Amino acid sequence: MLDELRIQNLGVITEAQLPLSPGLTCVTGETGAGKTMVVAGLGLLFGGRSSRAPLSEEKIRLEGRLHVPEEDSELSSVIADNDADVDDDGTVLLARTVSSAGRSRAWLGGRSVPVGILSEVSKHTLSLHGQSDQMRLLSHLEQRQALDRYAGSEAAEALRQTESLYSALEAAQDKLQRLKTDAEKADREVTALREGLNEIETVDPQSNEEEELAAEARRLENSESLRRAAQGAYATLTGDETTEIAGAIDGAAEAARLLEAESDHDRQLESLGQRVSEANTLLSEATVDLSSYLDDLGSDPHRLEEIYERQAALKDLFRRFAPDIEGVLSWADDARRTIEEYDNSDALIAETDAEVQRLTKEMAASASHLRQLRHTAATDLADKVSAELKNLAMPHAEITAEVTPRPAGRGGCDIEVDGELASVGPDGADEVSLHLRPHPGAPPAPLDKGASGGELSRVMLALEVVFAGVSSPPVLVFDEVDAGVGGQAATSIGQCLATLAKRHQVIVVTHLPQVAAFADTHLVVSKDTSGTVTTSGVRAVADVDRARELARMLAGMPDSHLGVAHAEELLAQAFKSK
């Protein structure tokens, strides 16, 4: 329940404090005084879309104090999750500001919160109905959602299951279509991949082969100069027998012998002799290696030609597939994997198609179950709304709620449900339409075809009364729900709202004295045009002041004794009817 509402700089209301009490609160006032700003203020306070503050004002400011019932665990969770403070009296303060630049801020229990948190609070607290809601009631989508809401938790669970199955079915169908489309391209792509892979496998490139080929080519291209260098080095080390010129090996051996002969006289010569001897050993080993090198050094022009051809083959692969051998090998690995995937595509298509068929059957069963729940709820809802309409001066009116299969081709996917092809979406396979027969003899007609404004107002109110016993939040707000209604029908609406207010806090903006007479709290929005700018304020009225306001609403004569007397009689009748 709301204790109070403070409004500052909203429309023509410069500043106002509205005391809100249990039961029925009616807000009245002259046309243009700003009655609707009260509803707009509540909408903004509970997270509604904001408008800019007037350029002449700094900010729109809204505050409200809300009772938090101990048994409302969901609302308590929202408050606790945002570290908001509940006061000792069990209330929490909500606040919101909107600047002239359109920037908005929100607070819950003294804590700054995103505006969306106020919307979360609203879900558990307040239901707001305006004339635009009457128009939305003409939408078959709104009518289906209303029926699902009335159908309760079992229907809500069936709807969640249907939504989940539809999402899975849609994904599986998309995958199947993609696989089939890819399969059509597979032949061309696989042929190209196989050709490329065959070329690579024919050449059979090896890791680091390019560097090894380049080194071998350089050796073969310079074989003669390499041979001369190796032979010269070998001769220098071994000497020349024909000229009896000693080589470096013999010279080293003689040097080691001379040093060793005198090593007994000087240890330093012994060390030097050992080093020269080691050098002689190394030189001897080098001559062996030089000899092997000369034996292996070839100048086969055919081998060099083979290397050139091999390098050309590798360069062709680099030109077509990748800039180096590692890249070519990687391309080949990717091609093998892709070909394997394509080779397995038939099995994957069959597997995915089986998944689509399974999900289709489950979707059909879920949609059928949801349809049955809707049929059951539709009958019960129609009976109860029709009964309420009798209390709203429509004694012979009947409401019917028709649940029909959605024709194929209306979006979603077309599957067979209960033996009939229907268009199935995340909301099932049904269309829901509320029909009104206002009096006997008249054919039932959809609300969007035959209901007048007054009839539509009463149908919406009757629905809200029925929903109040099912899942309505504790605070209900109506903005001119009595539009297009007068006479006895207006009194019936007042009586209905008063009955609804026994279980809920009901706030109504009305222009009908018959409705306002039933109020437990009567607020009047009055405008002041004494200055250059028109402003409005809000005040609670009772006793004589209330009778004067009703007299103004009845005949525009707040100062007429006859008008006041008529108003007092209206108040007395309303009091007896409560």
- Residue 337 pLDDT more than 50? yes
Contact 190, 342 (CB under 8 A): yes
Q: Which residue has the tokens 């409302």?
A: 72
**pLDDT score, position 56:** 55
Mean predicted confidence (pLDDT) in 530-534: 56
The span from the CA of 387 to the CA of 50, in Å, is 39
Compute the mean pLDDT over every residue in the chain, rounded to the nearest whole number: 84
The span from the CA of 43 to the CA of 50, in Å, is 9
**Greatest Cα-to-Cα distance within the chain, rounded to the nearest angstrom:** 158
Residue range 96-108, pLDDT digits in tens: 998 877 788 999 9
Would the pTM of this model clear 0.85, i.e. be above it? Answer: no
Q: Which residue has the tokens 């006289």?
A: 265
- Residue 295 pLDDT more than 80? no
Contact 447, 460 (CB under 8 A): no
Burial status of residue 268 (CB atoms within 10 A of its CB: 0-12, 13-18, 19 or more): exposed
The torsion defined by the Cα of 322, 324, 325 and 331, in degrees rounded to 10, comes to -20
The span from the CA of 388 to the CA of 469, in Å, is 13
- Residue 558 pLDDT more than 60? yes
Mean pLDDT is highest, among 2-11, 355-364, 455-464, for: 355-364
Phi, psi at 24, each rounded to 5°: -100, 120
- DSSP state, 557? -
Question: Dihedral sign, CA of 511, 515, 516, 520?
Answer: negative
C-alpha 228: how far from chain center: 80
**pLDDT score, position 352:** 93
Phi, psi at 318, each rounded to 5°: -60, -40
Burial status of residue 428 (CB atoms within 10 A of its CB: 0-12, 13-18, 19 or more): buried
The span from the CA of 29 to the CA of 541, in Å, is 12
Instruction: Report the alpha-carbon angle 359-362-364, nearest 5.
Output: 110
Q: SS3 for 316?
A: helix
The torsion defined by the Cα of 398, 401, 407 and 409, in degrees rounded to 10, comes to 110
- The enclosing H or E element of 129 equals strand 126-129
* More confident site: 144 or 411: 144
Query: Both tokens of residue 88?
Result: 């000792």
Q: Could you tell me which residues are beta bridge partners of residue 413?
A: 424
Query: Both tokens of residue 423?
Result: 């268009």
The torsion defined by the Cα of 264, 269, 275 and 280, in degrees rounded to 10, comes to -80
Confidence of residue 134 (pLDDT cuts 50, 70, 90): low
Q: Which residue has the tokens 């005084």?
A: 33
Cα 104 to Cα 7, 9, 58: the distances in Å are: 15, 14, 12
**Percentage with pLDDT > 70 across the chain:** 93
Query: Both tokens of residue 179?
Result: 């696989």
The span from the CA of 77 to the CA of 93, in Å, is 16
The span from the CA of 371 to the CA of 403, in Å, is 8
Q: SS3 for 279?
A: helix
- DSSP state, 520? S
The span from the CA of 427 to the CA of 155, in Å, is 11
**pLDDT score, position 235:** 78
**pLDDT score, position 269:** 82
**pLDDT score, position 162:** 95
Residue range 223-268, pLDDT digits in tens: 778 778 877 887 787 776 654 556 787 777 778 788 887 777 778 8
Residue range 179-211, pLDDT digits in tens: 888 777 777 788 888 888 999 888 888 888 888
Tell me the angle at which helices 140-151 and 153-203 cross, rounded to the nearest 10 degrees.
110
Question: Dihedral sign, CA of 409, 415, 418, 420?
Answer: positive
Question: Dihedral sign, CA of 172, 176, 177, 179?
Answer: positive
